[in-house]
């Protein structure tokens, strides 16, 4: 699975994209969308949120899902910083805490369901020719500038 988020201006009009792939890295579900006033970090996090939310309806029991993101900020918020913020009681003091909290709840639910699955994260360098990352980058930019020309296979979300 690949996720990406970005903005034209920061803050500015933002876009996000998430592509869920099968075991052969073939896309099976694609999402893209935009928000009129947002930040790059919020869109990076939202792309992960929408991907995990979509997984809840299609992930198979016992699956291991690997989410590729070019955002060290988003990955670190979810895997390192937020648990520490919760431990120290400073979680609500940080930007995007509601969205991060929603992601953490989805991650917890993914482990508790009767058909549980695991999710981990992998940082990839942006704009480095990695096909999945380049594809979600293209989708998010199209969602910002020309959403009418997204493929009919892409679920478009206007925030």
Q: Which domain range does residue 21 map to?
A: 2-158
Instruction: Indicate if 158 belongs to the active site.
Output: no
Answer whether residue 6 shows pLDDT above 80: yes
pTM to 2 decimal places: 0.93
- Phi then psi for 46, rounded to 5 degrees? -65, -35
Instruction: Indicate if 146 belongs to the active site.
Output: no
Query: How many domains does the structure of the chain reveal?
Result: 1
pLDDT digits (tens, 9 = 90+) for 115-149: 688 899 999 999 999 999 999 999 999 999 988 88
Q: Annotated catalytic residue: which of 6, 15, 33, 137?
A: 137
Alpha helices in the chain (DSSP H): 40-58, 72-76, 82-88, 97-112, 131-145
CA torsion sign for 99, 104, 109, 110 is: positive
Q: Annotated catalytic residue: which of 98, 127, 148, 153?
A: 127
pLDDT digits (tens, 9 = 90+) for 10-20: 999 999 999 99
Instruction: Indicate if 42 belongs to the active site.
Output: no
Q: Annotated catalytic residue: which of 14, 15, 30, 44?
A: 44
pLDDT at residue 114 in the model: 67
CATH number for position 130: 3.30.420.10
pLDDT digits (tens, 9 = 90+) for 79-99: 999 999 999 999 999 999 999
Instruction: Indicate if 93 belongs to the active site.
Output: no
Which among 28, 25, 4 is positioned nearest to 155, based on CA atoms? Answer: 28
Tell which phi-psi region holds residue 138, choosing left (phi > 0), alpha (psi between -120 and 50) or beta.
alpha
Instruction: Indicate if 101 belongs to the active site.
Output: no
């Amino acid at each position: 699975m690949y996720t990406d988020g970005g903005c034209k201006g920061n803050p500015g009009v933002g876009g996000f994209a998430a592509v869920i792939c099968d075991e052969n890295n073939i896309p099976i579900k694609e999402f893209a969308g935009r928000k009129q006033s947002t930040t790059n970090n919020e869109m990076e996090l939202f792309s992960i949120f929408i991907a995990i939310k979509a997984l809840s309806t299609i992930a198979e029991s016992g699956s291991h899902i690997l989410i590729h993101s070019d955002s060290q900020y988003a990955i670190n918020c979810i895997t390192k910083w937020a648990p520490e913020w919760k431990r120290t009681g400073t979680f609500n003091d940080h930007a995007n805490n509601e969205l991060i909290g929603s992601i953490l709840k989805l991650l917890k639910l993914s482990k508790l369901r009767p058909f549980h699955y695991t999710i981990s994260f992998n940082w990839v360098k942006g704009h480095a020719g990695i096909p999945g990352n380049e594809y979600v980058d293209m989708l998010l930019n199209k969602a910002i500038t020309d959403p009418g020309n997204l493929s009919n296979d892409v679920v478009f979300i206007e925030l």
